[in-house]
Structure 1
Amino acid sequence: MPEPLSPAVLVIGEALMDITVTVADTVETPGGGPANIALGLARRGVGAALLTRLGRDERGRTIARHLEASGVGILPESFHDGATSTARATLDERGAATYEFDIAWDVPRDVAVGEIPVIHTGSLGVFLEPGAEAVTAILDAHPDAIVTFDPNIRPGLVGDPDAARTRFEAIAGRAAVVKLSDEDAAYLFAIESVDAVIDTILALGPNLVAVTRGGDGATLSTREHRVEVTAPRVEVVDTIGAGDTFMASLLAESAIRSGVELDGDDLAAIGKRAVAAAAVTVSRTGADLPWAAELAD
């Protein structure tokens, strides 16, 4: 098991157990967007600490072992005496899924995270109370940190679009980097154009906005430069963890973590590496994010 590196990024958000029920069997796999991003960072050699919520139960221990095996450092404040959160997908004979969530989200507001230069947050962790308020308190306590944000919208859990957009704007307004999918954008904004969505988000304050479009690639934009990148063509096994891989790839870039100004060539190269990393993940089952050795520059 790799020793956790000195953390360059603190990731705050949910870790949970994904439970897939089919007519043949039931399979449980560790999941949660922020936990996947921490995993992806550690596998790329970037020190990642994770503040999450895990029960001291078998599922919590399984998730912790999964993350620690890749070098993620889980903050001790992440553990509690309740049950670990779950997301259950039941598939019928045709493969149609019905979902059931058992998720509780809270973290300590006064957790000691030290002088970590970058804080990433997103997904349910910034929308579900009481933990969402705690996330805000942690960001308030670290005004000099570079904040990155991926809303990773779950429509059935984040409230109506107006309430979700209000919360999104509050976090995006203090972030240096915002990444979202075209589906996130459609839920949050009554705007059809990706360019218009990007312009709206940039006006909130971020320096970089990236919108992913699945197999159609992504758009990355600063106020001065905007580029389109095309996704590699691969045989897709499933798309679980693709967006998390893209976000982890952005955070693996030292230029993004240091907050330097990016030109068009920088954006194109960063975007190309991010879609290539996501292509590795979608070519295999589950959120099995790539290791550094699997990615050619």
Structure 2
Amino acid sequence: MKNTSDILCIGSVLWDVIGRSASHMRMGSDVPGRITRLPGGVAMNIAMTLRRFGLTPALLTTIGKDEEGRELLAACQSMGMNCDYVYLSEDLPTDRYMAIEGANGLIAAIADAHSLEAAGDKILRPLENGRLGSAKSPYAGVIALDGNLTLALLETISKSPLFIAADLRVAPASPGKAERLAPLLSHPHATLYVNLEEAGLLCQTTFDTSEQAAHALLGRGAHGILVTDGGNRASVGRKGRVLTQTPPEVLVTRVTGAGDTFMAAHIAAEIRGETPEQALNSALAAAAAYVSGETPL
């Protein structure tokens, strides 16, 4: 069994179509701006940031064998991703995400990730058939897991012997999908990366601060938790201990992908051997650079 990657990224890899304007926007706004199409998706955004930190991620996802899929696969490979384990589908189209952003933040977004959901556990076959692991010899490295997977599949992962030895790092795809992560709260090696709203959804309440949220999630059995709150204080909690830091103040120019950048930067910092305080600081600095536009797309 040979693996030439530092981390597995499991979940959505798709085309991001993003319209951005420097104007404040509301429902019905029609303003000038720029429209871009770039590789995206939670798993892909994390993988791209990991590449910037010198790590080699392997993608476990589904990509269609349509024209958009061929372009997307080529783009992933050109960025240094290991695509050997991607499930290439004959009958499922390549997924897409569309968002509108204004000076006042994200206005609206639609995620068309139906193919990832339809593929189900087919994307996990390399963890079972010996290419990356098996039930008798489970994968023991770091795995970044995307909450775009179905609730049924996330429940399977939470109990599967294929993941029992992995260092799981889990991100919700959006607040609307945060509650899907509930089964993973009890996983003995899972760290969840959520924002304040998502933390509240998981606990079926609301929180005023990330520190409150981190303590509550640890109290519900979480092994590890990181809670962000935009430009307010962020917290990391493990083994009953919670650390809190304030992000750098920056001018926000984009928001799509900021949470994924934070998560990837934190994972990379821990792989480098940074202390919990240093890793949180590194992740906040990377996310601030991203939302300010300092980090190139």
Aligned counterparts, 1:196-211, within 5 A:
196-211=212-227
User: How does 1:1-297 map onto structure 2 within 5 Å?
Assistant: 6-20=4-18, 26-81=35-90, 82-89=92-99, 97-104=107-114, 105=116, 106-107=119-120, 108=122, 109-111=124-126, 112-114=131-133, 115-127=139-151, 132=154, 135=157, 139-155=160-176, 158=177, 165=179, 167-174=180-187, 175-188=189-202, 189-193=204-208, 194-254=210-270, 266-284=275-293, 288=297
Give the drift of 1:32.
0.8
Counterpart of 1:144 in 2: which secondary structure?
Answer: coil
2:243 corresponds to which letter in structure 1?
Answer: V
Where structure 1 has 5 or more consecutive residues not aligned to the other structure, the ranges are 159-163, 289-297
Deviation at 1:203, TM superposition (A): 3.3
Match of 2:25 in 1: none
SS at match of 2:285: helix
Q: Report the 3-state secondary structure (helix = DSSP H, G, I; strand = E; otherwise coil) of the residue aligned with 1:172.
A: helix
Q: CA deviation at 1:208?
A: 2.5
**Helix, strand or coil at the partner of 2:76:** helix
Query: For 1:99 and 1:254, how far apart are their aligned partners in 2?
Result: 32
For structure 2, list consecutive stretches of 5 or more residues without a partner in the other structure. Answer: 20-29, 134-138
The Cα shift of 1:224 comes to 4.2
Preserved contact between residue 221 and residue 267 of structure 1 (Cα < 8 Å): no
Amino acid at match of 1:170: P
More displaced stretch, 31-40 vs 168-177: 168-177
- Rounded to whole Å, the distance in 2 between the matches of 1:177 and 1:41 is 17
Give, in angstroms, the shift of residue 245 of structure 1: 0.9
3-state SS in 2 of match to 1:190 = coil
- Superposition deviation, residue 273 in structure 1: 0.4
- Is the partner of 2:261 in helix, strand or coil? helix
Provide the identity percentage. 26
- TM-score between the two structures when normalised by the length of structure 2: 0.76
Q: CA RMSD in A?
A: 3.2
